[in-house]
Chain A
Amino acid sequence: MEEFFQQLTNGLAVGGIYALIALGYTMVYGVMKLINFAHGDLFTIGAYLGLTLLVSMGLFDKIGPLPAVILLAVMVMILVAIIGAMLERVAYRPLRQSPRLSAVVSALGASIFFQNAIMAIYSPKFLVYPHDILPKSAVNILGLDIPIMRIILFMSSVVLMAALYFFIQKTKIGTAIRAAAIDQGAAKLMGINVDRVIMLVFCIGPALGGAAGLMVGLYYGQINFNMGWMFGLKAFTAAILGGIGNIPGAMVGGLLLGVIEALGAAYISIAWKDAIAFCVLILILIVRPTGLLGERVAEKV
């Protein structure tokens, strides 16, 4: 029983990461109907930028762990948001009128470009975040030894997701984003600057992804240039699981996928862990393509 709960907490922590990345996918898909393959690599860029900033600025020595992490997160999010907006401008905007396939291939190309750019700039080796800057101890909750970092990770994901939810539901700009996601043409007629909205989406989504990258770097300590691929694919599965285009769906989907994966690894087999995630994907698409929280859209899927 203890193992079950341990695995559950594992799953929730990883699920938080998947959820953050999935949010980026789902927002972009909702507004542009495009699967942004390069999103996983924006996540990786976040991790690498975090490392560079951390090492070069030596923040932790100056201000202490908690404010330093927050400052770092903000900086990384801003930088990755800028890169995301640039990506949209260069690779996707010229293809707005082109057939869907072109945008997909362009996304793939952008993904390959980013991955190899990171490899060329940094190194193909695994890079390591500095150690001993964050608490490594375990907290005893209800008889389980849970590493404190895992809790922090989960809580940070929840905080960011809640902030996004609030932003989308309650603010005017959030409503504009939702409007553009439902019908771009009608939104334009209502006076919403759809180009601006899309650019905003490409800032927020990658920002969250970058934050997730930073957290992965801090928590696991080790990053390499193609980690975006696996995380990105699983996050995409999570987005579909929850209902693509649906923001609460992405959150739920991410957490759920993390838990399914952890429990599957524990009770079925470790070696098939990734295959389990893909099987979930295929099953969902066959059985309930609109996802768990997705609306019944009239579109033929």
Chain B
Amino acid sequence: MKPSTLIYAAFALAMPFCPIFLNAYWTDVFNNVGLYAILALSLNVILGHAGLFHMGHAAFYAIGAYTTAIINTSYGIPVLWTMPLAGILAGISALIVARPIIHLRGDYLLIVTIGIVEIVRIALINNVFDITGGANGIFGISRPTIFGYRISKPDQFFYLIWGFAAISIFLLLRLEHSRFGRALMYIKEDEVAAGGSGINVAQHKLTAFVIGAVWAGMCGTIYASKMTIIAPESFSFAESVILFTIVILGGSGSIPGVILGAFLLVGLPEVFRGLAEYRMLVFGAAMVLMMIFRNQGLLPPGPKNYDITSLLPAGGRK
């Protein structure tokens, strides 16, 4: 077994026991890490696999969270039932938003996505259609209940969040190894060649965008029910920057890298709480240094190993 697989297995086994050893505060930190990890994984599909420079991911997160909040507070539907709806709405908005801009080249796409996240935030603050609660946000969102079991303490949320994370990781691994995933990686490497090989580049990019958005929307549901109040400030451009950085610094395109990135970027500042003012300073400097010295990230996706012999015809090489 490769040493990396052993490490991942050990990690996966150790995680369920964490709430027993950690106090409520650290469990909550791990919860935050988990949420950011899932969000970063969803961004990974867009940025890491498809290679689209997307800095507006917080917008879809916001749409998912607000959908849940509005439906839950207006109609009383239990939070977890709104999760698919939140995801779908986020996905639809991604479709609407991305369709005209999908063909833009890297830098331009970056700026446009920044603009989008700002517009969403301003729309939320200005209480568009009078349902978003304005700068107030929406409060009184109920806690999630699974078969009557109410989840409110950090320990309980831990299992919900990391359980969802485990499902996400599994699904994303399947995606990575599927035909769609391979097509995305081809597009990332060389768009023109991919197009020449018969891949509908625009459609694949759009699908990747939508998948990432749907996942972010569902994550928004969990966030909304965890905080019970949501406000537009939580979904600003800074959030998108953090997510973007997690993916890039962790290793874009690699799932373990992204999770490690989430732990470092969300967990470490909590460890260094005492130096709160210098946290972001170090963050910025770290970004620059990482790009100069190790620009593929901490845990870049490993080289793909293909077993050639299995691809050869049965009779052996001619």
Contacts and interface: CB of A to CB of B under 8 A. Distances in A.
> Do A and B come together as binding partners?
yes
Interface of A: 33-35, 90-91, 94-95, 98-106, 108-117, 119-120, 229, 233, 236-237, 240, 269, 271-272, 274-275, 278-279, 281-282, 285-286, 289, 299-301
Nearest to A269: B126
Contacts of A104: 53, 106-107, 110
Residue with the highest number of chain B CB atoms closer than 10 Å, among A94, A108, A111, A237: A108
Nearest to B280: A116
A278 B114 CA distance: 9
Interface stretch (B81-89, B97-105, B138-146): B97-105
B291 A106 contact: yes
A282 B278 contact: no
Interface string B61-94: 0000000000000000000000000000000000
7 contacts: A105-B291, A106-B287, A109-B290, A109-B291, A233-B115, A285-B108, A301-B108
Given A271-B126, A275-B118, A278-B119, A95 B105 contact: no
Interface in B262-318: 277-278, 280-281, 283-292, 295
Contacts of A113: 281, 284-285, 287-288
B185 interface: no
A240 B111 contact: yes
A114 B284 contact: yes
Contacts, number: 129
Nearest to B125: A271
Given A98-B295, A286-B101, A112 B287 contact: yes
A281 B248 CA distance: 26
B78 to A, nearest CB: 34
B136 to A, nearest CB: 14
A274 B248 CA distance: 29
A22 B289 CA distance: 27
Contacts of A102: 291, 295
Contacts of A237: 115
Contacts of A120: 277-278, 281
A100 B290 CA distance: 15
Nearest to A271: B126
Given A100-B106, A282-B101, A274 B288 contact: no
Given A95-B295, A105-B244, A116-B277, 6 more contacts: A105-B291, A108-B241, A108-B287, A109-B289, A112-B281, A275-B122
Contacts of A90: 288
A98 B104 contact: no
A278 B121 CA distance: 12
A106 B245 CA distance: 10
A282 B115 contact: yes
Contacts of A300: 105
A90 to B, nearest CB: 7
A274 B108 contact: no
B273 to A, nearest CB: 16
B248 A101 contact: yes
A138 to B, nearest CB: 32
A237 B115 CA distance: 9
